[in-house]
Amino acid sequence: MRTKVGFDNEKYLKQQTAEILKRVKKYPSKLYLEFGGKLLFDYHAARVLPGYDPNVKMRLLQKLKDKTNIILCIYAGDIERKKIRADFGITYDAEAMKLIDELRDWDLEIAAVVITRFENQPSARMFKNKLERRGVKVYTHGFTKGYPTDIDLIVSDKGYGANPYIKTNKPLVVVTGPGPGSGKLATCLCQFYHEYKRGVKAGYSKFETFPIWNLPLKHPVNTAYESATVDLKDFNLIDPFHLETYGKTTVNYNRDVDAFPLLKRILEKITGKKSVYQSPTDMGVNRAGFGIVDDTRVREAAKQEVIRRYFRSHCEYMMGLLDKDSADRAELLMEELNAKPEDRKAVLPARQAAAQARKKKKGNEGIYCGAAIELPDGAIITGKNSSLMHAASALVLNAVKHLADIPDKIHLIAPNIMDSIGNLKEKVLESRSMNLDLEETLIALSIGSTTNSTVQMAVEKLKQLKGCEVHITHMPTPGDEAGLRKLGVNLTSDANFSTRDLFIT
């Protein structure tokens, strides 16, 4: 069964909005609010806090839109190396443009885009041109001279002052980005410097959902944050500044704690007076912990996310995207929760399906892949690869048959259609793979639904797969991964390649 609600969005939204407005009142001229995490489609939060609306931050901004300008930051280096947002499979520059479109759909406009640490990189320059020719204001910020040691140079016209001032006209300026390391803090501080030069007594605060400061250090939700950021080498710790000042235990993460002394000195240098913040926790406006209404469910959901992250990190290691220390760290975090890969219900059935496929064709050379899905009714359905289709394709067809109560012997895709697609791939497209990946299977299924009511009934059940847990014994091919992403399932896979070929299309 799907995990029941453990988080109250309305309670969270009410408290979070009130907390932000409280900060705005402290700085009526202007408050720069650094938005950490994902502004839209925060599926990590939705997985570890069951019931959390992935777009709740947008609902919050809609409530405040009359008071709010939005600045979107993106690091030039991420554009240049085509960094990928894993949950959508698109590059960060594409994600930035997607975010602008989606903000407009929510009746929110971007005041400006800032390309940070810009060094005239060709891809970043092209991205800038593309946005400007569509009427989007784009600014470029270079690396701050003197950072991080020379405070006098940093807080000068040659440091923060060397970057252009971004004009805004609302009391709340939300500074966000497509991912970590986008340059949000540096942009806030550049603006903060310019505002004080203009005589505007601005303020700065931070909105970061994870780690949750008022949960225990080793709470599974906070462990899940560590697991999600193993590539950044992040780890949680007790905020020493908050403990020393107030005698209270709160949780933060290493980068914020390490940066706090420098950040505090910069703020004091700009304002010319003692900082109102005595700890990194003071800077935050995060009420997510108060939205948790069932800690037991949240703990279990977070534990499952740590297992998912273990699988992802090991796959990324095999693909050369992650170092071994990071992959080992993900495994260690899983073990700290006394969890193991097989605690994910779909894992063993998927591996058993692969073993059955291998046993059935004993003696034949090849790679045998199994897949399993946990459906909303708690049923575990499996699929395996064959000469006709990939394991992901067989899995989805078997799953919708189960949901639509269609007998297994009925073909949802007619044999002649399968043969026709196979011939096209082999003789026209000259593909090395004749069997259907999931994207091809879904297209074939949709075509069949136009003339067959049984197939139409199966197609209508596809939407029930959203949010289901899926495991595959081999890393999915691009067509399988794209199809599973569009279906909205939570996918993991063993760190095995689905083919011996080095180049996979």
Residue 2 above 50 pLDDT?
Answer: no
**DSSP 8-state assignment for residue 502:** S
Q: Are residues 22 and 148 in the same domain?
A: yes
Give the integer Cα–Cα distance in Å for 222 and 55.
20
- Going by their DSSP bridges, the two strands 251-253 and 370-374 should be labelled as unpaired
Closest CA to 295 of 56, 49, 14, 13: 49
Q: Are 374 and 320 within one domain?
A: no
pLDDT of residue 502: 58
Residue with tokens 């949750």: 212
Query: Beta-carbon neighbour count of residue 421 at 10 Å?
Result: 21
Can you give the CATH number for the domain in which 414 is found? 3.40.140.40
Residues 17 and 159 both lie in one domain: yes
Other C-beta atoms lying within 10 Å of the C-beta of residue 35:
21
Residue 265 belongs to a domain:
no
Domain match, 21 and 167 both: yes
Tell me if 211 sits within 8 A of 290, measured CB to CB: no
Alpha helical stretches, state H, 119-228: 122-132, 151-154, 184-197, 220-228
Same domain, 364 and 440: yes
Separation between Cα atoms, residue 434 and residue 415, nearest integer Å: 14
Number of domains, the chain: 3
Alpha-carbon gap, residue 211 to 60, rounded angstroms: 20
Average pLDDT over residues 465-470: 96
pLDDT at 100: 92
Which has more confidence, 293 or 83? 293
For the segment 223-246, what is each residue's pLDDT rounded down to a tens digit?
Answer: 999 999 999 899 999 999 999 999
> Which residue in 397, 375, 374 sits closest to 384, CA to CA?
397
Examine the pLDDT at 504 and tell me if it is beyond 60.
no
Residues spanned by the domain of 389: 344-493
**Residue 143 sits in a domain of what CATH number?**
3.10.630.10
Q: Is the pLDDT of residue 1 over 50?
A: no
Q: Are residues 334 and 380 part of one domain?
A: no
Peptide bond into 211 cis (omega under 30): yes
Nearest to 100 by CA among 111, 91, 87, 89: 111
266 lies in a domain? no
**Residues 223, 251: Cα–Cα separation, whole Å:** 11
* Shared-domain flag, residues 39 and 167: yes
Q: What average pLDDT score do residues 250-272 get?
A: 95
* Residue 289 is assigned to a structural domain of this protein: no
Question: Do 327 and 368 lie in a common domain?
Answer: no
| 352 and 336 assigned to the same domain | no
pLDDT at 363 over 80: no
Please check whether residue 3 lies inside any domain of the structure.
no
Q: Which of 181, 209, 237 is the last residue of a domain?
A: 209
Residues 56 and 182 in one domain: yes
Mean pLDDT of the chain: 92
Judge whether 220 lies within some domain.
no
Radius of gyration of the chain (CA): 25
pLDDT at 362: 56
Average pLDDT (104-128) is 94
398 pLDDT band, cuts 50/70/90, is very high
- DSSP label at 292? B
Q: Does residue 66 belong to any structural domain of this protein?
A: yes
For residue 360, being part of any structural domain is answered with yes
In a domain, 227, yes or no: no
Task: Report the pLDDT averaged over residues 20-40.
Answer: 90
Q: Are residues 323 and 358 in the same domain?
A: no
Q: Does position 364 have pLDDT exceeding 70, yes or no?
A: no
Residues 159 and 40 both lie in one domain: yes
**Are 144 and 262 contacting, i.e. CB atoms less than 8 angstroms apart?**
no
Residue 44 banded pLDDT, cuts 50, 70, 90: very high
Question: pLDDT by residue (tens digit) across 185-209?
Answer: 999 999 999 999 999 999 999 998 9
- Give residue 472's pLDDT: 98
Of 101-115, 127-141, 369-383, 489-503, where does mean pLDDT reach its minimum?
489-503
Residue with tokens 């107030």, as numbered in its chain: 246
- Candidates 467, 468, 485; CA nearest to 476 is 485
Residue with tokens 């602008």: 100
- The CB density around residue 295, as the number of other CB atoms within 10 Å, is 13
Last residue of a domain, one of 156, 175, 209: 209
Average pLDDT over residues 350-354: 96
- Percent of the chain at pLDDT > 70 equals 95
Q: Which pLDDT does position 226 carry in this prediction?
A: 97
Task: Say if residue 219's pLDDT is above 90.
Answer: yes
The pLDDT > 90 percentage for the chain reads 79
Measured at the alpha carbon of residue 279, what is the angle toward residues 276 and 52, in degrees to the nearest 5? 105
Query: In the listed set 209, 229, 261, which residue is the last one of a domain according to the structure?
Result: 209
Per-residue pLDDT, 490: 96
Query: 3-state SS of the chain: helix, strand, coil percent to 5?
Result: 50, 15, 40
Q: What is the DSSP secondary structure assignment for residue 427, as one 8-state letter?
A: I
Give CA–CA dist 389/480, Å, rounded.
11
